[in-house]
Amino acid sequence: MASGGCRYTYDEYKETADWLLAHCRIHPKIAVICGSGLGGLAELLSDRIVFPYQQIPHFPQSTVSGHAGRLVFGELGGKQCVCMQGRFHFYEGYPINKVTFPIRVFHLMGIEALIVTNAAGGLNEQFNVGDIMFIRDHINMPGFGGQNPLCGSNEERFGPRFPCMSDAYDGTFRQMAVNSAVELGYQDFVREGVYCMLAGPSYETIAESRMLKILGADAVGMSTVPEVVLARHCGMRVFGISLITNKVVTEYGSPEKANHEEVLQTAKVRAEALQTLVSNLVGRMD
C-alpha cells in the first residue's frame, strides 16, 4: 500500500476488482452492504457464488458478531447483485481506507448503485424499536475530526477533489422504496430521517445523545457514512436503510442500557420484512 492519505494505490483496487471479475461469471450493477444481524439479505440471492473475505486479494476481515465476512454474488429481484455479508468498522481497529476499501473495488467492477443497511439506535421520540428508517441525510461526526476517506491526495480516476454531498442519498431511490413499502403494507413501521455516525465501539452517553438530537439526528450508529462518502465520490447512486434496533437512552436514572445482543435480536425479528423490502426495491431499479 502507498503511504500518505490514499493508503491503497489505484492498481491495488484494480487488482482486487480484476480478480473478482475473473472468478465470477456474474457482473452486477447493484451492491448491497449488510449491517449487523442483516446478513440474511445475501441468503435471498439465487444462483449464489460466495467468496470468503480471506480469499479475496487485499480484502480486510470482519471481526464482529453478526457479520459473516463473505462476498455473495447472485440474483435478487430479477437483478444481478453483490452483497457484502459483513462490513468493516473503525472500532475494529481499521483505518478509514480499509473500512471503505470495497467501495472503490465495486466501482471498478462496474457497480452503479449502492444500498447500505445498518442497525441503529433511535433518537427520534416518534420512532419505535423495529422501525425501518430510510436515510434522507447523514451527520458525519468522525469527519468533523478529520476522519474522512477522501483525506490525502485525490485519485482523479475515482472522482473530483471536492465532491458534493448535499445529494448523498438518491431521492428517486427513496421514493421507490416508499412505494415498495406501501405496496407491501409496511407503511406503519417505515420512517425517513437523518442518520448520525459515531466511531464507537462504546455507546453514546446521555449528554452525547441529547446533543445529537439537537443537531437533528433521528438515529445513531457506528458505520455507513464512510462508505457513502466514497460511493458518491465514485459517482454511485446511494440508498440507505437504518433498522431501529433500540431506543437511545436520553434520561438520567433510566434502567435501559444499550447492548449488542439486543441489536442482533431486533434485527432477527424484523429481518424478513427488511429483506422483502430491499428485494422489491432492487426489482424496481433500472
* Average pLDDT, 10 consecutive residues per value, the chain (286 residues): 62 97 93 82 89 93 69 92 90 88 97 95 94 97 92 94 96 96 95 95 94 97 96 98 90 75 72 89 90
DSSP class of residue 204 equals P
**Would 154 be classed as within a structural domain?**
yes
pLDDT at site 66: 54
Domain count, the chain: 1
Look at residue 18 in the predicted model and tell me its pLDDT: 97
Q: What is the pLDDT of residue 2?
A: 44
pLDDT score of 87: 86
**What pLDDT, on a 0 to 100 scale, did the predictor assign at position 55?**
94
Is 74 within the bounds of a domain? yes
Q: How far apart are the first and last CA of the chain?
A: 36
Any idea what the CATH number is for the domain that residue 65 is in? 3.40.50.1580
Show the domain range for 18: 10-284
Q: For residue 195, what are the contacts with CB-CB under 8 A and spacing of at least 6? A: 118, 120, 133, 135, 137, 138, 139, 217, 218, 219, 220, 221, 224, 225, 240, 242
Cell of 218: 433521528
Quote the CA–CA distance of 149 and 101 in Å, as a whole number: 10
Q: What is the pLDDT of residue 42?
A: 85
Return the pLDDT at 4.
39
- Residue 270 confidence (pLDDT): 82
- Is residue 146 included in any domain, yes or no? yes
pLDDT in the model for residue 191: 96
Residue 91: what pLDDT? 85
Catalytic positions: 36, 67, 89, 91-92, 119, 222-223, 246, 260
Q: What is the distance between the alpha carbons of residues 101 and 105, in angstroms, rounded to a whole number?
A: 7
Instruction: Return the bridge partners of 241, or none.
Output: 117, 134
Residue 107 makes CB contacts below 8 A (sequence gap 6+) with: 158, 231, 234, 235, 236
CA dist., res. 230 & res. 100, Å (int): 7
Closest CA to 168 of 134, 144, 137, 140: 137
Domain membership of residue 19 (yes or no) is yes
Instruction: Establish if 18 belongs to a structural domain.
Output: yes
- For residue 22, tell me if it sits in a domain: yes
Provide the pLDDT for residue 151. Answer: 92
Residue 253: per-residue pLDDT: 78
Q: What is the pLDDT, as a whole number, of residue 67?
A: 52
Residue 41 located in a structural domain: yes
Domain-located, residue 3: no
